[in-house]
């Protein structure tokens, strides 16, 4: 999955305002990339793990969300969760003018990655 996710980012121009991205794989393993020194990989990975477990345990929401946007005063975290348990989070600056359409496209593509990508990741580590 790591190669497939990296290809998602390498195949397009850099996303303006993107500070970091992070993936939780179906087996719980994580990998990430920080574009700035705002974040350390361990921070974004812990944050994504907290978000994924949190949203899976949310009570009182009768929806089946596919996209989440956590808005903090300095950061927006766009997150998507696949049925197989894999999740991708994009940590972006919270400012107007960010390319939301591009961010949306990355998240959609991540959700569309074939399950085989996840399997090959597990085997490749």
Instruction: Give the footprint of other proteins on this chain (CB under 8 A).
Output: 38-39, 43-44, 46-47, 50-51, 54, 57-61, 63-75, 77-78, 91, 94, 96, 100-101, 104
C-beta of 4 vs 55, nearer to other proteins: 55
Residue showing tokens 């477990």: 53
CB of 58 to other proteins, least distance (A): 6
CA distance 35 to 106: 16
Q: What spatial distance separates the first Cα and last Cα of the chain, rounded to whole Å?
A: 9
In the numeric block, which tokens belong to residue 69?
A: 């946007």
CB of 119 to other proteins, least distance (A): 25
Closest CA to 27 of 55, 9, 1: 1
CB of 83 to other proteins, least distance (A): 12
């Amino acid at each position: 999955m790591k190669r497939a996710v990296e290809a998602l980012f390498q195949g397009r121009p850099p996303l303006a305002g993107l500070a970091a991205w992070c993936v939780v794989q179906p087996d719980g393993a994580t990998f990430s990339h920080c574009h700035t020194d705002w974040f350390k990989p361990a921070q974004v990975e812990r944050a994504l793990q907290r978000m994924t477990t949190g949203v899976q345990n949310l009570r009182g929401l009768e929806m089946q969300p596919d996209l989440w946007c956590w808005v903090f005063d300095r950061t927006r975290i766009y997150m998507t969760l696949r049925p197989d348990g894999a999740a991708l989070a994009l940590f972006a600056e919270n400012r107007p003018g960010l390319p939301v359409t591009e961010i949306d496209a990355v998240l959609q593509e991540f959700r569309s990655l074939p399950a085989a990508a996840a399997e090959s990741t597990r085997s490749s580590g």
